[in-house]
Amino acid sequence: MMYTLSELAKFTGGQIQGDANCQINGIGTLQEAQAGQITFLANPIYRKYLSTTKASAIIIKPEDLSLCKTNALIVVDPYAAFAELTHHFAPKQKIVPGIHPTAVVAEDAKVHPSCQIQAHVTIGSGAVIGANSIIGAGCAIGEGVHIGSAALLYPRVVIYPRVIIGERSILHSGAVVGSDGFGFAFDRRKNEWIKIDHLGTVRIGDDVEIGSNTSIDRGVLDDTVIENFVKIDNLVQIAHNVHIGAYTVIAGCVGIAGSAKIGKYCRIGGGACFAGHIEIADNITIIGMAMVTKSLAQSGGVYASGTGVMHHGEWRRNVARFRHLDELAQRVRKLEKE
């Protein structure tokens, strides 16, 4: 894969300073890029590497251009431009149409002839797989599942019955979609838990990406819904009847309890957790490790909770003081009254 800098400028809408015919064969970091590669400066803490990088070109903002000692591709958002260029340098996964001899496909399943069904896949009765989709080795597709065109399921994805997945969606290995949520009712007469059968399903929109070992539970009565262009990282737990708005991104190890509703264009940091039955408005950012226990009704804003890492001794002293906060507050109120 070889492009001129002028070709890359067309892909990104950037302007060129230097040799427009410079040949680029890959992308690297500022620290490690070699001649023939393009790199980028998105975070100012890496400016110190601009003078020493061996890259043949740098994707850069106009305000950093004076620090650039080589060819430059000038854009407003270097990170977005870098993301765009990865599509042009990444190896393309070729579709080899056909069904592997070891795959088990129900007679009434509808698999488009352009699909690639790899080894040991199982596809249940009534399932529909759209054109140009790839179903990786060992995937299990349940009864009545609908998967749109150009979808990519990596090996060992499990899709439970009746789940709907949109076009161009990507599911990474180990993802499980449509399993029962954690639903039980305690029967005081029998002194035992009664399982609640989940009668809904999961509806996933177009252009959604789901990371490895992420679980998305089906709804109890209504459906769990993941709207278009949602991006979900690895090891995320999405409980029954959750609704996630379009273009929201969710980093790894997030847990979202049942019936929570997340708005559009939200950004959720790793390890954050959400209580059930709350609503998060559009365009909200949740910092990693935050614990969200109530609804956030106002669109926009950045929210965080918890404390950052500190020396163990300091942490122990602070915990000891925290235990006396209520006592201290009462003393303050008493003094205020006096």
User: Could you report the per-residue pLDDT of 126-142, keeping only the tens digit for each?
Assistant: 999 999 999 999 999 99
**What pLDDT is stored for residue 308 in this prediction?**
81
Q: Residue 235 belongs to what domain range? A: 157-303
- 43 occurs within a structural domain: yes
At which of 60, 89, 118 does a domain end?
89
105 in a structural domain: no
* Pair 255, 327 in one domain: no
Catalytic residues: 240
Q: What is the rounded CA–CA span in Å between residue 84 and residue 92?
A: 14
Residues 181-188: contacts with CB within 8 Å, 24+ apart? Answer: 181/217, 181/218, 181/219, 181/220, 181/239, 181/240, 181/241, 181/258, 182/217, 182/239, 182/240, 182/258, 183/220, 183/240, 183/258
* Residue 38 lies inside a defined structural domain of this protein: yes
Residue 200 shares a structural domain with residue 265? yes
- Confidence (pLDDT) at 157: 98
Mean pLDDT of 281-296: 97
Domain assignment present for 249? yes
Verify that 267 and 326 share a domain, yes or no: no
pLDDT in tens, 164-208: 999 999 999 999 999 999 999 999 999 999 999 999 999 999 999
Distance CA 250, CA 263 (A): 12
Could you tell me if 76 and 168 lie in one domain? no
Regarding whether 332 and 296 lie in a shared domain, the answer is no
Give the model's confidence band at 238: pLDDT under 50 very low, under 70 low, under 90 confident, else very high. very high
User: What is the distance between the alpha carbons of residues 136 and 155, in angstroms, rounded to a whole number?
Assistant: 4
Alpha-carbon gap, residue 114 to 338, rounded angstroms? 82
- Is 128 a member of any domain? no
pLDDT at residue 164, as a whole number: 98
The reply to whether 264 falls in a domain is yes
Question: What is d(CA 306, CA 289) in angstroms, rounded to the nearest whole number?
Answer: 7
| In-domain check, residue 324 | yes
- Whether the model clears a pTM of 0.85, i.e. scores above it, the answer is yes
Whether residues 81 and 179 fall in one domain:
no
CB burial class (10 A; 0-12, 13-18, 19+) of residue 12? buried
Number of domains in the chain: 3
Q: What pLDDT score does 213 carry?
A: 98
pLDDT at 22: 97
